[in-house]
Amino acid sequence: METKVYSEGVITRLSQYLKFLVHLRETGKRTVTSYEISQHTKINSAEVRRDLIYFGLKGKRGVGFNINDLISAFNKILGYSDKVNIVLVGAGNLGKAILNYKMLDKFGFKIENVFDNDENIINRIISGRLVMDIAKMQDVVRQRGINIAILAVPEESAQAVTDILVANGIKVIINYTSVPIKVPKNVNVQTNDPIEKLFHTLYYLSNTVYRSYN
């Protein structure tokens, strides 16, 4: 059976819905209306209703949609599991800021390994993670089957590090450097922010060709 794939616009909207729903669930709410989703994501209410209907998600009149059910449904569509392991390359100021970004853990995106080439940083514990020598990166990536990396290295090192990541099986790179990096066609590079783009890349890992359901 052919796998159904969706346009980038659809995946982006579902990622925004999911971010809002996870936040909302933390407040103790159990249900949500399409109007509330529209108001908080700034996505046209008609578009929200259209998406919900298309994916067969049904609410109760006067009550709305069960938040847990919506989260489970969107997770399944986006290819999200309980935990997604990521490597971070670069433990300088930017890398430290990323490690301290608690929203990643909240959504199940776990930076499991951190690498750097600075002897003053290697073997230090930063935000609960041991910084490893970048020389060990390729072995760790291969052995653990990790396919998502966050790049937070100096500009002059970006391409060289990217080449190592790609050669060792990384399929998605979140590029936090200010320079464009060159990768093969089967590798996806994201240059924007964290949560939404990570959800987007999870879908990419399962479906590398997008087409609209319009």
Name the average pLDDT for the chain: 85
- The pLDDT value recorded for residue 204 is 60
- The pLDDT value recorded for residue 22 is 87
| Domains present along the chain, CATH in parentheses | 8-78 (1.10.10.10), 84-194 (3.40.50.720)
Going by the DSSP 8-state scheme, the letter that residue 156 receives in this structure is G
pLDDT band at 198 (very low <50, low <70, confident <90, very high): low
Q: What is the pLDDT of residues 115-152, one digit of tens each?
A: 999 999 999 999 999 999 999 999 999 999 898 999 99
Query: Are 136 and 115 within 8 A, CB to CB?
Result: yes
pTM greater than 0.75 (yes/no): no
Residue 193 in this model has a pLDDT that exceeds 80: no
- The pLDDT value recorded for residue 26 is 87
What are the start-end ranges of the H helices in the chain? 8-26, 34-41, 45-54, 67-78, 93-99, 103-106, 137-144, 158-167, 194-206
What phi and psi, each to the nearest 5 degrees, are found at residue 131?
Answer: -85, 120
Lowest mean pLDDT segment, chosen from 6-20, 34-48, 56-70: 6-20
- The pLDDT value recorded for residue 97 is 87
pLDDT band at 178 (very low <50, low <70, confident <90, very high): confident
Q: Which is higher by pLDDT, 200 or 209?
A: 200
- The pLDDT value recorded for residue 197 is 61
- The pLDDT value recorded for residue 42 is 94
Tokens 């990396």 sit on residue: 149
Residue 12 in this model has a pLDDT that exceeds 60: yes
Taking residue 40's Cβ as centre, other Cβ atoms within 10 Å add up to: 16
Q: What is the pLDDT of residues 60-113, one digit of tens each?
A: 988 999 999 998 898 888 776 556 789 999 999 989 988 887 777 777 778 989
- The pLDDT value recorded for residue 4 is 64
- The pLDDT value recorded for residue 195 is 59
Mean pLDDT, residues 184-196: 77
Q: Which of 120, 114, 108, 124 is nearest to 94 (CA)?
A: 114
Residue 206 in this model has a pLDDT that exceeds 60: no
